[in-house]
Amino acid sequence: MSETLSDAIERDDLAQARRLLLAGSDPDAMVIDDYTPLGYCATTGRTEFVALLLEFGANPAYRDRQGRSAADYALARGHHGIVRMLTEAQRGTGARAGSSQVTQTDVGLLRSIWGAEIAQQVARHFRDDTGTQAPMPRATSIRPPQQQNESEPAQPSPPPRAPVKEIDLNALVGQKAAKAGIAQVIALARVNAERRTRGLPAHQVTLHAVFSGSPGTGKTTFARYYAQEIRKLGILSKGHLVEVSRQELVAEYAGQTAVKTGKVVESAKGGVLFIDEAYSLKHAKDDAFGQEAIDTMLKMMEDMREDLIVILAGYTDEMREFLHLNPGLKSRVPNHLFFEDFTQAELAAIFDDMCRKSGILVSPDNRQLAIAEIMKRRKGRYFGNAREVRNLFERALAQQSARLSMRDLKSLTQEELNTFVTADLTEDPEDYVAAPAGDKPVQDARRPMERLEALHGLAGVKRAIREIADYYSIRRLRGEGAASQDVGLHMVFTGNPGTGKTTVARLLGAIYRELEILPTGHLIEADRSALVGEYLGQTAIKTRERVEAALGGVLFVDEAYALSQDIRGGDSYGQEAINSLVKLMDDQRDSFAVVLAGYPAPMEGFLDTNPGLRSRVSRTLVFEDYTDEELAKIAHDFVAQNGYQLDENAAKKLPSVIAALRTAEGRNFGNARSVRGLLEGAYKAQASRLMRAGKPETLDKGELSRLAAEDLGDPSTPGSA
């Protein structure tokens, strides 16, 4: 006798229930005592079965002879997540069934069984229901649910999952070989599912897979597609995707890893477990914690082989070595998909798609420029493919916003708001400055070296960078490229806060770009948190990813000595970051520049933490504290950039206020940062002064933008502004 839908539900066999529904079983078939499958599952708290039945068209509005719906029963039993699912489903179909309101008889009956509070919840929940009685479906044979023990607390049900847009594999750009490979695996699964439906013995097929390739090639998207298609076939009971890395699987203490890994794998039961950078699970033969995670996972893969698919993803070479070190794992994962780097035409198509989805307009010339900018980064094995396209697109959005924000936004046309111009795709937002009169920004036409020379102070820094620029200019005239250079790109910047280290690093990248030493010259900032991981093995990955992002430009590591803050005390993670960075500084020495920045004394000690670090750095630039006069000039620049102006008395008072601030803050004085804070206080003081004077709406633009001496506060009490 063939199995029915009711049998599958009673056995809690979600996969079989899905197969029967796919084969045509009626989701609204009547069961004993007037329960439909939906009503039965709602009463007994079977959330996943409720979701499955709704997916296949079960009617959430049907009411039994007592006028109760599945939502009534779920609410009475405390399954509030199921109530939400059923209510949303009913709203989605526009279905309204039963009488126009819950009758007093119904409320009285509910009160006698479940109490006054729940009875009133039901009444309120369905007070506005209108419609007609749903047709009576035919009967089958599920037994009525057992009454819940009233002494047992009701277990809250999880909220329904939001609908996810299906992935169309054919709509994805490129990856012809990977598409063919995954189609073959799914075809095998589809045939097996059909054999099961017909009662034939299924082939013993392992659906675990390895996805290998460079970053940004679509491995995660393909994993989601895989889970989506397998779910449709009813092979897995849920078909959900769980994405993890080493951090979610490996613990910090002995004995904890097996428990941690077990919980993650258990959460993926019935679906697909996607482990990104799987090779990080075990870095070396003595990585006992990583091996514990692998051993636990192997056992559970075997125990759950009928209801779990594992996908291991990562770089090709690292995955090959990882599987070689773990033969037990290799034998259980027979399906290997390789993801190729995208071609230039495919990267262009990805860029076009991003523009189309965001409504961005790009001229043909600027489109070619964008593709050229992306291709400049295509150096070495760490090219980010689609990630590089997204990085450029998001950077262009940020730079477009910075450019447009200098104008009156309400005056912009729709086309101006939706168009990328050349500078959005190539220039830094700081290359734009506000026009002296008017609200249209103007592009700073000065060359990067000219902008460096225009900075206040920093005579020694300017001289050193000028020497480097001159050296490469002559070398280029001689026809010798950066590959033959013998002056390293990596530097150390030492100085107190607010002395311009980040600004100069950004200009240094632009100078390198102009001299064609580096292709993009962009700046990537990092600190200890961006480079050091939270568990063994993660640090090298985080450091490499930050370097990948900086390829073609400058990696600026602020307070670099924080990496070595406790090496003597056993800070192996910080040492791992330093060692990884030193290796990449050498391996990629022609592809990016590293600037290590911080206070002078700690930086000296930091350079001794790795024998090769000092030799990788070509020179050290010292950023002296600004004088009071230089800071006054910087303050004038800040004021102008923010649309204010100092009146004569305020301009005379400013140097003395800065001197008093330097004295008050002592060793904590932040140079330009402290001046910026001083001016922010002045802006607030000016606003308070104008409000106290009354009728601020009558003031002209000149008065609204003028900073008076009193706004700067008392020199003897800095911060009084």
Highest mean pLDDT among 105-114, 302-311, 673-682: 673-682
pLDDT of the residue at 123: 53
H or E segment at 117?
helix 116-126
420/717: higher pLDDT: 420
Of the candidates 7, 14, 13, 8, the residue with the CA atom closest to the CA atom of residue 240: 14
Cα–Cα distance measured from residue 95 to residue 59, given in angstroms and rounded to the nearest whole number:
8
Q: At what angle do helices 104-114 and 116-126 cross, to 10 degrees?
A: 140
Query: Do strands 209-213 and 645-646 pair parallel, antiparallel, or not at all (unpaired)?
Result: unpaired
CATH architecture label of 169-339? 3-Layer(aba) Sandwich (3.40)
Structure tokens at 21: 């529904």
pLDDT of the residue at 505: 93
Q: Is the pTM of this model over 0.75?
A: no
Q: What is the mean pLDDT of residues 532-552?
A: 80
pLDDT of the residue at 594: 94
CA 371-374-376 angle, to 5 degrees, is: 110
Cα–Cα distance measured from residue 279 to residue 418, given in angstroms and rounded to the nearest whole number:
42
Other beta carbons within 10 Å of 293: 25
Cα–Cα distance measured from residue 372 to residue 377, given in angstroms and rounded to the nearest whole number:
9
Residue pair 685/711 in contact by the 8 Å Cβ criterion: yes
Mean pLDDT rounded to a whole number for the chain = 78
Other beta carbons within 10 Å of 626: 24
Upper half-sphere CA count for residue 297 (Cβ side, 13 Å): 34
Cα–Cα distance measured from residue 417 to residue 242, given in angstroms and rounded to the nearest whole number:
38
Q: What is the mean pLDDT of residues 515-538?
A: 81
Handedness of CA 90, 94, 96, 97 (dihedral sign): negative
Q: Is it the case that residue 196 has pLDDT exceeding 90? A: no
Query: Do strands 441-443 and 432-434 pair parallel, antiparallel, or not at all (unpaired)?
Result: antiparallel
Structure tokens at 681: 């206080």
Cα–Cα distance measured from residue 578 to residue 585, given in angstroms and rounded to the nearest whole number:
10
What are the distances in angstroms from CA 497 to CA 598, 617, 666, 670?
8, 21, 13, 5
Question: HEC states along 15-44?
Answer: HHHHHHHHCCCCCCCECHHHCCHHHHHHHC
Residue 444: φ, ψ to 5°: -70, 105
Per-residue confidence band for 317, with pLDDT thresholds at 50, 70 and 90: confident
- Decide if domain 628-707 falls under CATH 3.20.20.80: no
Token pair 């090496």: residue? 567
Residue type, 468: I
Q: What is the mean pLDDT of residues 526-543?
A: 80
H helical segments located in 561-671: 572-587, 600-606, 613-616, 628-641, 648-665
Contacts by residues 26-30 (CB-CB < 8 Å, ≥ 24 positions apart): 26/137, 26/138, 27/53, 27/56, 27/57, 27/58, 28/57, 28/58, 28/59, 28/62, 28/137, 29/5, 29/137, 29/138, 29/139, 29/140, 30/136, 30/137, 30/138, 30/139, 30/140
For the chain, report the end-to-end CA distance as a whole number of angstroms.
88
Per-residue confidence band for 456, with pLDDT thresholds at 50, 70 and 90: very high
Residue type, 140: T
Per-residue confidence band for 74, with pLDDT thresholds at 50, 70 and 90: confident
714 contact partners, CB below 8 Å, separation of at least 6: 720
Residue pair 694/680 in contact by the 8 Å Cβ criterion: no
pLDDT of the residue at 116: 53
Cα–Cα distance measured from residue 233 to residue 372, given in angstroms and rounded to the nearest whole number:
43
- Decide if domain 448-479+486-623 falls under CATH 3.30.1360.120: no
What are the distances in angstroms from CA 91 to CA 27, 101, 284, 548?
19, 17, 55, 48
Same fold, 169-339 and 448-479+486-623: yes
Handedness of CA 700, 705, 708, 714 (dihedral sign): positive
Instruction: Kindly report, residue by residue over 139-157, the tens digit of the pLDDT.
Output: 444 444 444 444 444 444 4
Q: What is the mean pLDDT of residues 427-437?
A: 46
CATH class belonging to 344-424:
mainly alpha
DSSP 581-608: HHHHHHHTTTT-EEEEEE-HHHHHHHTT
Per-residue confidence band for 136, with pLDDT thresholds at 50, 70 and 90: very low
Per-residue confidence band for 188, with pLDDT thresholds at 50, 70 and 90: confident
634/522: higher pLDDT: 634
pLDDT of the residue at 459: 92
The strand order across the sheet containing 523-526 reads 523-526, 554-557, 593-598, 491-495, 619-623
Question: HEC states along 360-429?
Answer: CECCHHHHHHHHHHHHHCCCCCCCCCHHHHHHHHHHHHHHHHHHHCCCCHHHCCHHHHCECCHHHHHCCH
Residue pair 179/346 in contact by the 8 Å Cβ criterion: no
Question: HEC states along 164-217?
Answer: CCCCCHHHCCCCHHHHHHHHHHHHHHHHHHHHHHCCCCCCCCCCCEEEEECCCC
Cα–Cα distance measured from residue 286 to residue 676, given in angstroms and rounded to the nearest whole number:
52
Q: At what angle do helices 364-376 and 344-358 cross, to 10 degrees?
A: 120
Q: How many angstroms from the chain centroid is the CA of residue 295?
A: 30
Cα–Cα distance measured from residue 303 to residue 715, given in angstroms and rounded to the nearest whole number:
75
Per-residue confidence band for 284, with pLDDT thresholds at 50, 70 and 90: low
Q: Is it the case that residue 617 has pLDDT exceeding 80? A: yes
Q: Is it the case that residue 595 has pLDDT exceeding 90? A: yes
pLDDT of the residue at 22: 76
pLDDT of the residue at 1: 42
Cα–Cα distance measured from residue 594 to residue 582, given in angstroms and rounded to the nearest whole number:
10
**What residue ranges do the domains of the chain occupy?**
5-92+113-118, 169-339, 344-424, 448-479+486-623, 628-707
CATH architecture label of 5-92+113-118? Alpha Horseshoe (1.25)
Cα–Cα distance measured from residue 187 to residue 179, given in angstroms and rounded to the nearest whole number:
12
Q: What is the mean pLDDT of residues 43-67?
A: 84
53 contact partners, CB below 8 Å, separation of at least 6: 21, 27, 37, 38, 41
113/469: higher pLDDT: 469
Of the candidates 70, 183, 11, 40, the residue with the CA atom closest to the CA atom of residue 20: 11
Residue pair 282/322 in contact by the 8 Å Cβ criterion: yes
pLDDT of the residue at 538: 73
pLDDT of the residue at 269: 87
Q: What is the mean pLDDT of residues 393-399?
A: 84
Per-residue confidence band for 64, with pLDDT thresholds at 50, 70 and 90: confident
Structure tokens at 656: 């003395």
Of the candidates 420, 398, 429, the residue with the CA atom closest to the CA atom of residue 352: 420
